[in-house]
Structure 1
């Protein structure tokens, strides 16, 4: 959701003056500032031919007058509506003509404009690199406005990778602390961005207040485009509250509006949420048609976003259930293609954002604290001591966490190797699951205490074999009482047989079956590994993901995330070996 909003506020850096319309018709009579306002007025209202005409005139006028700064601005205006190869040439021309310009505007502005262009074309890695460079020069020049624009743009990337709380802090700051940095237009975009973050982190009351505020703003300014944006956010707000019918109505209306304006970057997010609403309402055919339409637009536009994985999982499952192998294979291929791109971007951003942005900000904050305390020796010494202790503690905890992680990875690798070895053994083996090392021994009942008749014990063992073979342990809500009833015995006999023959109590027995099943399936089934934790835990019969995570860690000695990561690492290594 944040991605499509960014494409609307991409003018943040470039629109230095408010985008007010002008009634003067002759371009010859307009000043540069008036031409620029007129350009953004047309561009904001999706009147691309008119905006391009003004951009061309602007550049010609600047070249004729040999005005370097305005030539640079002309290149900037020209790049907005062009395809990427053409647009990047205009931005490169802007960089070339301003390389010797004095002042604090360039090169910061060039890097931020280039970052916006890469973001618009779904190259978030290059976008981040340019934003970081722009922020670096803005700090060197102490340009508060351009630092703010860099921080805003980076906040969108934070939101893209799911760090909505961090992004919300930035957007909230500029919504409530404008400080002459954002004009009314830009302030409105920050409000939209903040609403999106609030919806994602379930601050729904705060989101609703801002939605109502934004709708009043759009009506007051007679801005149909912005009103539909807020109507879209209202629809996603209803979707979050599971008011599916209301959400469908709102999102369908907004879809028609943006379809007429052909804004694909908006349409794909509307279709995604509309599909989720149809799913919630139980209208599977409607959801299917919506997701197929969404995939078609994604292919044409090249725009991707993390939630697309859910879309392709739905399509794959649908056609699998309907035994349409051709379409099932097609959407598996689409999933893998999109997933590869998303995974590549996510890995890069999740590593580079903390390293290039979060850490320098923390170091700068630390430096600022030290500078403030220079004239207060006692407090300074205290602070240095505190920081030293903190660094020691951080180093200790870092070392400890790395050591723990290494231990967990080794356990995960051993489990994977054990499973793979067992999968190669013959069917004569008694068990095809790895023997896990419990980290807490089960307090079993006395194995010598046999109160169950032998024939009853043998009957129960056979029923337990069926229970295990048919994987009935995956059903939710299984208790010793329900299992005893289903196999026509009593809980006393069942518990005694499980304790004496399996060496564990019923709860441990059930949990071991589920975890062993999970370990095997995660190794074999790539699609299963891609599911959300809540879906995996649900399929294994757990009531919630927390219960599953705790059970997994207790049984295996490692975490689910590390286990899956090691499976993926091994798969990648095998692929590389096969290639060589």
Structure 2
């Protein structure tokens, strides 16, 4: 699974207009330059990784602005100087920028302050804080009717969406600004939109579209003779080959990109190149090279402490690799590394990864970790004790295995019965239309007297509930007993009594059952719906998170969602 490697650089670039590649010259007469020229030189040095020279220009820029008491340029000086500082210092500079601009009238601030702060948090791997600031930036940009900063906020949020796996959604934004970015993006930024869109297309397997844009981008990079762009497209082309299972060419391109980004101190880009290089070696069935590549990746991650979602795959591969080699020390080491990275990713992305297949879930790894530690200790004792302990573990694992298999078979049987039940209903009446007359008939059949609720009120509520079910309003998010009662012009007491009596369940159970029944049918009927990430499916069903949906699904059906989906695929394959 591939994520584009250029997010941090791109989202920073997006804020600052045209990048003019100024002629290189020694910084010996900065007083001769005006603010625009100094700014161009600063970005030129940044683009060519000349950090000391860039820092010197930023420092001079801020001094010049303070001397002239030019508030807007002082703010710009804080912006320039924060780029090459460590996080705490950089954050102080941006806070200073926000303070000095708080009383400035116009449409640039405070939206720009929030965009800068969001970029800084994103650069330092704090997605939640980055997103919070981008949303604030979008709010103020819209209030000030600033189309450019509104676009930048939308694009930055799109990068985060792509990062967490919502690539189809992000692609719409990137494509829009790629082809409708007049007066918003310059040639440089236009190229970054192309790179971002290619990354999304590769992720959602629109390979033909991705390849067309790669060829277009390579021509752009050759004309500009920009090594960074050339190697960016080399990476994307290598990832494209990886998708096509052309592992030999993918390895060459990704290796070249990795070498360039490493030599240019583009560490995050180098790490993504290294990850996909490992995937290419894996496709080529070169286990030793995969392990070597992922070990190097882990070493790099420890230095930067900046993670990305696909890292889980690298660590699970290394765990299995050393498990096959019966190297428990290294297996234990990479379990520890996995748990640290996994904890950070969970904190960062919360439920965003619950839909991803997890080969090693955290509790299971913790148990395995303890088993390995105990096993290593027992090796130091006498042979008899060690063999006895291993036999006990083997018996326990065997028992757990067969117990798990029984539970799995039970879940599969339930899932099969559910599928057959849904299909049987469709065969009996595949085109049933719930008419007003039928609703009235169904309501009349439910003749139960409820104490303290007038009969005409009961019938009215039942009719409204029929409409509620027919129109699938139960899929809306945030439905409560109170909101539903208000929408059908009754009170919560009456509504609760009718549901408890006529539906024979609580309001919460009633709502969950409707949603789960809807999911059971739609997952069978709609292949596209089945392909969605779990968090997106849950969202479409009205749940706030994936965990709530999976819990409701299991409570009603007594099987797991993953088992139900697997049985659907098996049924479709047989047909």
TM-score (norm 2): 0.63
Deviation at 1:44, TM superposition (A): 1.3
Relative to structure 2, which stretch is displaced further, 25-34 or 319-328?
Answer: 25-34
Match of 1:397 among 475, 478, 482: 475
Please name the residue that 2:134 is paired with. Answer: 131
Please name the residue that 2:164 is paired with. Answer: 161
Q: CA RMSD in A?
A: 3.2
Please name the residue that 2:32 is paired with. Answer: 29
Please name the residue that 2:12 is paired with. Answer: 11
Question: CA separation of 1:50/1:273 partners in 2, compared to 1, >3 Å: closer, same or farther?
Answer: same
Correspondence 1:326-365 to 2 at 5 A: 326-347=329-350
Question: CA separation of 1:563/1:404 partners in 2, compared to 1, >3 Å: closer, same or farther?
Answer: farther
For residue 62 of structure 2, give the secondary structure of its aligned residue in structure 1. helix
1:194 aligns with 2:272: no
Contact 1:45-1:225 within 8 A present in 2 as well: no
Query: Separation in 1 of the partners of 2:469 and 2:98?
Result: 42
Please name the residue that 1:51 is paired with. Answer: 54
1:174 aligns with 2:171: no
Correspondence 1:368-379 to 2 at 5 A: none
Query: Separation in 1 of the partners of 2:199 and 2:3?
Result: 6
Relative to structure 2, which stretch is displaced further, 264-273 or 20-29?
Answer: 20-29
Question: CA separation of 1:16/1:159 partners in 2, compared to 1, >3 Å: closer, same or farther?
Answer: same
Deviation at 1:19, TM superposition (A): 2.9
Contact 1:168-1:194 within 8 A present in 2 as well: yes
Query: Separation in 2 of the partners of 1:81 and 1:108?
Result: 22
Deviation at 1:263, TM superposition (A): 1.1
Correspondence 1:208-227 to 2 at 5 A: 208-227=211-230
TM-score (norm 1): 0.63
Query: Separation in 1 of the partners of 2:469 and 2:20?
Result: 49
Match of 1:152 among 155, 180, 185: 155
Contact 2:159-2:170 within 8 A present in 1 as well: yes
Contact 1:244-1:278 within 8 A present in 2 as well: yes
Deviation at 1:52, TM superposition (A): 1.0
Please name the residue that 1:113 is paired with. Answer: 116
Contact 1:76-1:91 within 8 A present in 2 as well: yes
Please name the residue that 2:256 is paired with. Answer: 253
1:88 aligns with 2:166: no
Count of residue pairs brought into register by the alignment: 391
Please name the residue that 2:543 is paired with. Answer: none
1:272 aligns with 2:272: no
Deviation at 1:28, TM superposition (A): 1.5
Uncovered stretches (5+) of structure 2, i.e. residues with no partner: 355-466, 481-506, 521-532, 535-549, 566-575
Contact 1:155-1:170 within 8 A present in 2 as well: yes
Question: CA separation of 1:558/1:128 partners in 2, compared to 1, >3 Å: closer, same or farther?
Answer: same
For residue 16 of structure 2, give the secondary structure of its aligned residue in structure 1. coil
For residue 6 of structure 2, give the secondary structure of its aligned residue in structure 1. helix
Query: Separation in 1 of the partners of 2:516 and 2:44?
Result: 60
Please name the residue that 2:491 is paired with. Answer: none
Query: Separation in 2 of the partners of 1:191 and 1:91?
Result: 29
For residue 16 of structure 1, give the secondary structure of its aligned residue in structure 2. coil
Alignment deviations for residues 316-343 of structure 1 (CA, whole Å, 9 cap, x no partner): 0011111111111111111111111112
